[in-house]
Amino acid sequence: MGKVVVGAAVICAATVCAAAALIVRHRMRCSGRWARAMAILREFEEKCATPIGKLRQVADAMTVEMHAGLASEGGSKLKMLISYVDNLPTGNERGLFYALDLGGTNFRVLRVQLGGKDGRVVNQEFAEVSIPPHLMTGGSEELFDYIAAELAKFVKTEGEDFHLSPGRQRELGFTFSFPVRQLSITSGTLIKWTKGFSIEDVVGQDVVLELTKALEKQGLDMRVAALVNDTIGTLAGGRYLNNDVIAAVILGTGTNAAYVECANAIPKWHGLLPKSGEMVINMEWGNFRSSHLPITEYDHALDVESLNPGEQIFEKIISGMYLGDIVRRVLLSMAEEAAFFGDTVPPQLKVPFILRTPDMSAMHHDTSPDLKVVGNKLKDILGIPNTSLKTRKAVVELCNIVATRGARLSAAGILGILKKLGRDVVKEGEKQRTVLAMDGGLYEHYTEFRVCLESTLKELLGEEVSANVSVEHSNDGSGIGAALLAASHSQYLEVEDS
């Protein structure tokens, strides 16, 4: 009996030892994995680094490309398109104006009653209408008929608070946020659809003409007075409220910038100098690229697998459409090469764009002690349950790396614009204020991104210059901006002037 007991005890001790050895080995394997995962994260972080010297190089490259794009057609990746907006609103505009904002799955119609310098925006109303998906890929006539019909309905609801001067036609600002080759302030041909639209028979057509035909069919006597995009609308909306606004930047699903250029600084401008001596330039800055941009293998893969490889490189590292997917790609590599989420790679992690930027932003802003939001997002979106706090912290760190790079590069791009305008320095004896109008969901909702962008711009400009430079959120300036541009390019302007 005694022997058996002793034998059992020996076996037990051996089992305990073996189990302990197994745990030690497991821990070693885990720490090996962890070290490898962290090595991937650190290497990514290094490649994303944006020290101030690099940001200055990016800003300089932006300035150089701006000059090149202005000098000749196709002279740069930056298209530097002439917008034909040579008359930004001043605040003196009067009358009733409409706007139509088309650039995504919703469009907005809007009317404003402007009361001049003192009255300003006396009254404003808008309606938002979603576009039935089948119209986004159907024929142009159906789409424009639908839009015109909705606009006609909206015009019918015009109440007593709005007054059209007798004998006048209603005028409309048309914000059309797709790539357009502008021919005048009231005409432009569609270069290509983006954002899920695909209506072949509009490409190459004048979108103002298409809209005008549809408006006529509705029996609506309305003239399109200005064709612009969201960035130019934002610039106009910002300028109306603050005369020191000289540029607008959109950071949303995509990104773009527009600014006010001195007309004689545009060599490719073959027409007459505009009255005001100013011209708004639509930079299409999402297409900027430079050897100074910190681009990693993950960005390269994202670009290659995208719908527009080789294009919109700046946009692909700073805008809302892509930031979440960059995070996903790095996590996938950590999972595949270092078993970051355990022995099997979570299949959801392989699905492109499954991790959206708003989810990334929610994880990045998680302040709960156990990073509950991160845990839930990993579980709900990527199907990864029971993550440790250590793992969650690493995910937050990754979000921070991607957002920081995007925000700092955006600031560098803005510095490039300020340099082009000579507003990156304090001029002797001049108290010139500079205001940038900003809009877009990324800027508006991703607080860490916004704060980092603004502090980086300060860092780049230095204390003295930044005291005169400010960034203002131009909330939904693009819609009202188009109405204001219809006013400042109204056919009745001459009549009023005389």
CB of 330 to Mg ion, least distance (A): 28
96 vs 119: CA distance, rounded Å: 13
C-alpha pair distances (Å), 343 with each of 338, 340, 350, 381: 9, 8, 15, 19
- Which listed residue (89, 254, 346, 413) binds ligand ADP by CB under 6 A? 254
- Are the C-beta atoms of 335 and 387 separated by less than 8 Å? no
CB of 337 to ligand ADP, least distance (A): 28
**Residues with Cβ < 8 Å from 489, sequence gap 6 or more?**
85, 87, 185, 186, 225, 226
C-alpha pair distances (Å), 466 with each of 59, 384, 425, 450: 16, 45, 9, 16
Using the minimum distance from each CB to Mg ion, give the nearer residue, 298 or 322. Answer: 322
418 vs 412: CA distance, rounded Å: 10
Site residues for Mg ion, 223-252, by CB under 5 A, read: 230, 252
83 vs 282: CA distance, rounded Å: 6
Q: Which of 101, 145, 230, 359 is catalytic?
A: 230
102 vs 274: CA distance, rounded Å: 28
- Which listed residue (209, 441, 465, 466) binds ligand ADP by CB under 6 A? 441
CB of 320 to ligand ADP, least distance (A): 2
351 vs 361: CA distance, rounded Å: 19
Residue 245: phi and psi, rounded to 5, are -70, 125
Site residues for ligand ADP, 359-378, by CB under 6 A, read: 361
401 vs 233: CA distance, rounded Å: 32
Q: Judge whether 83 counts as a catalytic residue.
A: no
- Pick from Mg ion, ligand ADP, none: which does 78 bind, CB < 5 to 8 A by kind? none
Convert 351-372 to b/e letters by CB count within 10 Å (16 or more is b). Answer: eeeebbbebbbbbbebeeeebe
CB of 316 to ligand ADP, least distance (A): 13
CB of 479 to ligand ADP, least distance (A): 11
Strands 187-190 and 180-184: antiparallel
Binding letters toward ligand ADP, positions 91-110, x by CB under 6 A: ------------xx------
CB of 376 to ligand ADP, least distance (A): 16
Binding letters toward ligand ADP, positions 338-357, x by CB under 6 A: -------------------x
- Which listed residue (286, 440, 479, 481) binds ligand ADP by CB under 6 A? 440
CB of 293 to Mg ion, least distance (A): 24
Q: Name residue 261's beta-bridge partners.
A: 279
50 vs 64: CA distance, rounded Å: 20
End-to-end CA distance of the chain: 120
User: At residue 103, what is the residue type?
Assistant: G
- The token pair at 65 is 């490309």
Asked if 253 is part of the footprint of ligand ADP (rule: CB under 6 A), the reply reads: yes
Using the minimum distance from each CB to Mg ion, give the nearer residue, 230 or 261. Answer: 230
Q: Judge whether 450 counts as a catalytic residue.
A: no
Q: Judge whether 184 counts as a catalytic residue.
A: no
CB of 252 to Mg ion, least distance (A): 5
Interacting stretch for ligand ADP, rule CB under 6 A, among 3-11, 43-51, 63-71, 440-448?
A: 440-448
CB of 361 to ligand ADP, least distance (A): 3
DSSP for 394-455?
A: HHHHHHHHHHHHHHHHHHHHHHHHHHHTT-SSPPTT----EEEEEESHHHHH-HHHHHHHHH
246: alpha, beta or left? (left if phi > 0; alpha if psi -120 to 50): alpha
The single residue listed with the structure tokens 């706007």 is 99
Asked if 290 is part of the footprint of ligand ADP (rule: CB under 6 A), the reply reads: no
- Which listed residue (433, 445, 458, 473) binds ligand ADP by CB under 6 A? 445
- Pick from Mg ion, ligand ADP, none: which does 441 bind, CB < 5 to 8 A by kind? ligand ADP
- The token pair at 314 is 């700046």
Asked if 402 is part of the footprint of ligand ADP (rule: CB under 6 A), the reply reads: no
- Pick from Mg ion, ligand ADP, none: which does 45 bind, CB < 5 to 8 A by kind? none
Q: Which of 76, 101, 108, 325 is catalytic?
A: 108
Using the minimum distance from each CB to ligand ADP, give the nearer residue, 268 or 372. Answer: 372
C-alpha pair distances (Å), 477 with each of 121, 431, 484, 488: 13, 27, 10, 15
Asked if 252 is part of the footprint of ligand ADP (rule: CB under 6 A), the reply reads: yes
Using the minimum distance from each CB to Mg ion, give the nearer residue, 101 or 424. Answer: 101
Using the minimum distance from each CB to ligand ADP, give the nearer residue, 223 or 445. Answer: 445
Using the minimum distance from each CB to ligand ADP, give the nearer residue, 188 or 252. Answer: 252
Asked if 406 is part of the footprint of ligand ADP (rule: CB under 6 A), the reply reads: no
Closest CA to 449 of 498, 489, 408: 408
Site residues for ligand ADP, 313-332, by CB under 6 A, read: 320-321
Site residues for Mg ion, 377-416, by CB under 5 A, read: none
- Point out which residues bind Mg ion (CB under 5 A): 230, 252
Q: Annotated active-site positions, please?
A: 108, 177, 230
Residues near ligand ADP, by CB under 6 A: 103-104, 252-254, 320-321, 357-358, 361, 440-442, 445-446
